[in-house]
């Protein structure tokens, strides 16, 4: 079964503002690394250009009034309601082509989801997707349209069971909002605690309501958490729940901003921990829709996505330029060469505090969520 990469060079060339930390060019750097480390012309690999989403699908999650504001903003019109909707801020600036960009990204996610639901692919990766902060009536966290919610909602109404696993360093609050009261979607978000990081939500006590009670799972980590603590909590909670739930498709938001060199967060994961987590998610998934999400060290993000692709397709990267004089260099000198990091282990009292918090969260979830699932 084929592995599909969804990519458009035009979308990767978009820019919010020159100084904005969200850089779609990360995806272009990732494609360059794929050419370096993989034979992307292998017959098991397909690259598809995303098509803009049918606008009617937006209303599977978003309110029409909000979408109308987005269209007005793109045309250069102003309405006081835009401020309340999070538009025109430093975080979510108004720029030419913003609505069309968001529509194309959402179209790519939906396109990938349909390929998986129809059995035409086993794994799909869209590095530009995974805009998990956008709310029903507002932009947030660099996200204008929640492509994740729309694609999942469409599959759910078609009878599919969906597990959503979010390893972005920021809590997937927009996805939690959409599915907080349903048992048709298993939502799991692993992230830096809202006590120290945007959006300030995603505590372990947020476990869903009504039919959704026990189907919303949050694992907030203390700032400073390293590979060892993160992987231990992941293994304790995620595999048992995902295995028991029996999803038809797993959506995985694999943001690379958990990395220790990311400038917008405070976790200490390395390439080793990141690849292990993506590999485990892939093993748990009958079919997987992987989405790029966050990552604000653009070179490190591209490298981590390359390792993620390796995990998804089950093939180790092979540097075709090794040993060549004047061979290809990549990024700043500190990031040139290997995709992998040197090992990093947190030590001392900070390590103890990180382990204690993760342990408390795991025990809480085992006492409150696991019994709902008969675990």
Q: What is the pLDDT of residues 220-262, one digit of tens each?
A: 999 999 999 999 999 999 999 999 999 999 999 999 999 999 9
Fill in the DSSP letter of residue 316. -
Count up the domains in the chain and report the number.
1
Rounded to the nearest 5 degrees, what angle is found at the Cα of 327, between the Cα atoms of 325 and 328?
165
Collapsing DSSP to helix, strand or coil, 187 comes out as: strand
Instruction: Please report the beta strands in the chain, taking only residues with DSSP state E, as ranges in sequence order.
Output: 3-6, 45-48, 123-126, 162-166, 185-192, 216-221, 249-253, 288-291
pLDDT for 324: 47
| DSSP string of 3-35, one letter each residue | EEEE--HHHHT--S-TT-S--THHHHHHHHHHH
pLDDT for 327: 44
Structure tokens at 116: 């998986």
Collapsing DSSP to helix, strand or coil, 188 comes out as: strand
**CA–CA separation, 362 vs 354, rounded Å?**
12
What is the number of residues in the chain? 375
Entry pTM: 0.95
pLDDT, tens only, 257-310: 999 999 999 999 999 999 999 999 999 999 999 999 999 999 999 999 999 999
Structure tokens at 148: 């994740």
Residue 311 in contact with residue 282, Cβ under 8 Å? yes
pLDDT for 319: 79
Residue 303: CB partners within 8 Å, gap ≥ 6?
33, 271, 330, 335, 339
Rounded to the nearest 5 degrees, what angle is found at the Cα of 248, between the Cα atoms of 54 and 311?
95
Residue 252 in contact with residue 127, Cβ under 8 Å? no
pLDDT for 39: 74
Over residues 14-34, the mean pLDDT reads 96
pLDDT for 321: 63
Q: How confident is the model at residue 323 (pLDDT cuts 50, 70, 90)?
A: very low
pLDDT for 54: 96
142: domain range? Answer: 3-373
Catalytic residues: 133
The owner of tokens 């400038």 is: 263
Over residues 126-149, the mean pLDDT reads 98
Judged against a pLDDT cut of 60, whether residue 330 lies above it is answered with no
Residue 137: CB partners within 8 Å, gap ≥ 6?
62, 63, 65, 66, 85
Q: Which helix (H) or strand (E) holds 133?
A: none
pLDDT, tens only, 6-16: 999 999 999 99
The owner of tokens 């060019």 is: 25
**CA–CA separation, 9 vs 337, rounded Å?**
24
CA Rg value for the chain: 20
Instruction: Please report the beta strands in 131-265, taking only residues with DSSP state E, as ranges in sequence order.
Output: 162-166, 185-192, 216-221, 249-253
pLDDT, tens only, 28-76: 999 999 989 987 666 668 999 999 999 999 999 999 999 999 999 999 8
pLDDT, tens only, 176-207: 999 999 999 999 999 999 999 999 999 999 99
Q: How confident is the model at residue 18 (pLDDT cuts 50, 70, 90)?
A: very high
Q: What is the CATH number of the domain that holds 81?
A: 3.40.800.20
Judged against a pLDDT cut of 60, whether residue 108 lies above it is answered with yes
Count of Cβ atoms closer than 10 Å to residue 96 Cβ: 11
Shortest CA distance to 263 belongs to which of 221, 302, 301, 222? 301
pLDDT, tens only, 85-97: 999 999 999 999 9
């Amino acid at each position: 079964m084929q592995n599909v990469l969804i990519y458009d060079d035009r979308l990767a060339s978009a820019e919010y503002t020159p100084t904005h930390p969200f850089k779609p060019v990360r995806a272009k750097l990732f494609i360059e690394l794929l050419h370096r480390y993989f034979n992307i012309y292998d017959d098991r690999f397909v690259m598809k250009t995303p098509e803009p989403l049918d606008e009617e699908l937006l209303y599977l999650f978003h309110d029409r009034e909000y979408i109308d504001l987005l269209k007005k903003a793109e045309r250069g019109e102003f309405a006081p309601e835009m401020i309340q909707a999070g538009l025109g801020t430093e975080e979510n600036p108004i720029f030419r082509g913003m609505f069309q960009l968001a529509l194309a990204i959402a179209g790519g996610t939906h396109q990938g989801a349909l390929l998986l639901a129809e059995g035409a692919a086993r794994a799909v990766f869209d590095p530009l997707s995974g805009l998990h902060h956008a709310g029903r009536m507002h932009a947030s966290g660099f996200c204008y349209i929640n492509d994740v919610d729309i694609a999942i909602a469409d599959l759910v109404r078609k009878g599919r069971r969906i597990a959503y696993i979010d390893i972005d360093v920021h809590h997937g609050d927009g996805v939690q909002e959409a599915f907080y009261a349903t048992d048709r979607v298993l939502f799991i978000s692993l992230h830096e605690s809202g006590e120290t990081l945007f959006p300030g939500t995603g505590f372990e006590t947020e476990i869903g309501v009504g039919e959704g009670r026990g189907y919303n799972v949050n694992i907030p980590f203390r700032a400073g958490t390293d590979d060892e603590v993160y992987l231990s909590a992941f293994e304790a909670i995620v595999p048992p729940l995902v295995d028991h739930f029996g999803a038809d498709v797993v959506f995985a938001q694999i943001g690379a901003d958990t990395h220790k060199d990311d400038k917008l967060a405070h976790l200490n994961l390395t390439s080793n921990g990141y690849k292990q987590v993506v590999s485990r998610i892939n093993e748990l998934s009958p079919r997987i829709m992987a989405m790029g999400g966050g990552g604000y060290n653009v070179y490190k993000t591209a490298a981590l996505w390359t390792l993620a692709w390796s995990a998804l397709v089950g093939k180790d990267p092979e540097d075709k330029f090794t040993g060549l004089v004047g061979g290809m260099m990549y990024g700043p000198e500190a990031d040139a060469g290997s995709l992998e990091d040197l090992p990093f282990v947190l030590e001392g009292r900070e390590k103890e505090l990180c382990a204690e918090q993760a342990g408390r969260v795991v025990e809480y979830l085992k006492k409150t969520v696991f019994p709902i699932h008969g675990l």
